[in-house]
Amino acid sequence: MESFLIKGGVPLHGEVTISGSKNAALPIMAATLLTDEPCIIRGVPDLSDTRFMAQILQSLGAQVKFANGTLTIRAKKIRGYADYELVRKMRGSICIAGPLLARLHKARISLPGGCIIGARPINLHLKGFESLGAKIKIEGGYVDATAKKLVGSTMFLGGRAGSTVLGTANVMMAATLADGVTVIESAACEPEVVDLANFLNAMGAKISGAGGPTITISGVSKLHGAEHTVIPDRIETATFMIAAAATNGEVTIKNARADHLNAVIDKLNEAGVSIQNRGGNLLVRRGKKLRAADVTTLPYSGFPTDVQAQMMSLLALAPGISIITERIFESRFMHVSELARLGAEIEIEGPSAIVKGGRPLSGAPVMASDLRASAALVIAGLAAKGATQVNRIYHLDRGYEKMDAKLRKLGARIRRVEEK
Ligand code: EPU
């Protein structure tokens, strides 16, 4: 296993270019199963998660070529079965269910199970499929979804934490080939859902309303191949913004979509960070002093849960008390005890973390528990005095393309080493 060795205390300076969005690319890759024609997807980040999704598509019978960020996928003849060994490695793989159900009228997929950040149920995905007329059976750890035909319907997909991103994606994909009109109420409004809808429309689907809480899909009889470029990764963008602020640096971020980051930019401003949009590039600079701020994670357009951990690292440096409340995933605070090893003072009270910020951080060995927690530890390590070793960075490699190389280009002293 590999680790990052970081010598902290160096302000980041320079330019960084953001990769395509992981969470947009994964469902778009799954959507290529909806047609037997070739699809070309550009701007795909080279990550273990996208490579893994490519493997899943291959295991279903698709031909996949991946070169220089461009994926060419042809799912000419496919099967509708994905086993536990494939699905358990990446919960995002559940989004193959909708396309398989639409194209083959059957899907047998291992239940993904929970993960370190929370329970991750799929009841809303299944509710949506049932509403389209599918019969669902759960047996031996597998979901069997079958349908003579899918028929459009109106459904409410809100759950206890609000909308579901992959649930909306899954049902939207299934509904593209259903008979008649489907209306998804309480749909996820995330930019990744809009990107998927744009790709599906390029394939010949008839989807309107994506980006808002009501999505309407008029079923068509067939989809065709299409080309698409994936949107920039808003979570990677936010991570680099926070890293620049935490190290008191000045960074220009290229290939960023500020309009996807209003909640993050607003909170960073409140915390004393200046962000200027210069012709599409974002110039991030910290003001004289960081300030405490309260943050609550919410579905889009609220503050993203995927930036909660990184924001906590920044607020640990801001004098005063910040309250961070996690409303999407109940156990997404695994980074707290690791940040404490670097000297941060943080207490957990139910769904909130109370950050008593402003104490100096000092380097230590820490353990990454999930993708975004790893990013938070890297940021804290960059800001801390002395050496930090972030272990188990395979989590980070799932979702950040060449993060160490990008940080080095900004002047960070970060090395990838084999864990001892
Ligand atoms: N939920 C249900 N029932 C469902 C589905 C979800 O109750 O059937 C609940 C979840 O337990 C959670 C909430 O709804 O409390 C939101 O979960 P959602 O379904 O939106 O999450 P997801 O679609 O499985 C995607 C991203 C996550 C990101 C979340 C929230 C991908 C591949 N994953 O997951 O990304 O945190 O949306 O924005 O798109 C990451 O990139 O680090 C990551 C975890």
Q: What is the pLDDT of residue 302?
A: 98
Per-residue burial over 170-204, b if 16 or more Cβ lie within 10 Å, else e, is bbbbbbbbbeeebbbebbbbbbbbbbbbbbbbebb
Give the ligand 1 atom nearest the CA of 49: 32
Distance 2 CA to ligand 1 centre (A): 27
Of the candidate ranges 113-122, 235-244, 291-300, 405-414, the one whose mean pLDDT is the lowest: 113-122
Does position 112 have pLDDT exceeding 90, yes or no?
no
Distance (Å, whole) CA 100 – CA 108: 9
- In short, whether 205's Cβ falls inside 6 Å of ligand 1 is no
Instruction: Find the largest Cα–Cα distance for the chain.
Output: 64
The residue assigned the tokens 């290939």 is 255
How many CA atoms are closer than 13 Å to the CA of 179, on its beta-carbon side? Answer: 8
Determine if ligand 1 sits within 6 Å of the CB of residue 166.
Answer: yes
Instruction: Pick the range with the lowest mean pLDDT from 113-117, 215-219, 318-322.
Output: 113-117
Q: Which two tokens stand for residue 64?
A: 């996949």
- Exposure string (b/e) for 298-316, b if CB count within 10 Å is 16 or more? bbbebbbbbbbbbbbbbbb
pLDDT over 90 percentage in the chain: 90
Distances (CA, A) of 216 to 178, 200, 206, 298, 357: 12, 13, 8, 23, 46
The predicted pLDDT at position 293 comes to 98
Say if pTM beats, i.e. exceeds, 0.75: yes
Segment 198-219, tens digit of pLDDT: 999 999 999 999 999 999 999 9
Does residue 305 have its Cβ closer than 6 Å to ligand 1? yes
- Report the nearest atom of ligand 1 relative to the CA of 123: 8
CA of 191 to the centre of ligand 1 (A): 14
pLDDT of residue 90: 86
Lowest mean pLDDT among 121-130, 138-147, 170-179: 138-147
Instruction: Give the pLDDT confidence score for residue 114 in this predicted structure.
Output: 60
Residue 118 DSSP code:
B
Region 60-87: what's the mean pLDDT? 91
pLDDT at 388 over 80: yes
The pLDDT of residue 82 is: 80
Ligand 1 centroid–CA 119 distance in Å is: 10
Taking the C-alpha atoms of residue 241 and residue 243, their distance in angstroms, rounded to an integer, is 6
The strands making up 413-418's β-sheet, listed across from edge to edge, are 365-367, 387-391, 2-7, 413-418
Q: pLDDT averaged over the chain?
A: 95
pLDDT at residue 83 tops 80: no
User: What average pLDDT does range 63-79 have in this prediction?
Assistant: 96
For the cut 90, the answer to whether the pLDDT of residue 250 exceeds it is yes
The pLDDT confidence band at residue 120, using thresholds 50, 70 and 90, is: confident
Token representation of residue 158: 């809100």
> Is the beta carbon of 238 within 6 A of some atom in ligand 1?
no
Please state the rounded mean pLDDT for residues 348-376.
96
**207 CA → ligand 1 middle, Å:** 22
pLDDT at 246 over 90: yes
Q: Tell me if 118 CB under 6 Å of ligand 1.
A: yes
Residue 110 has a pLDDT of: 86
Instruction: Reply yes or no on whether the pLDDT at 113 is more than 80.
Output: no
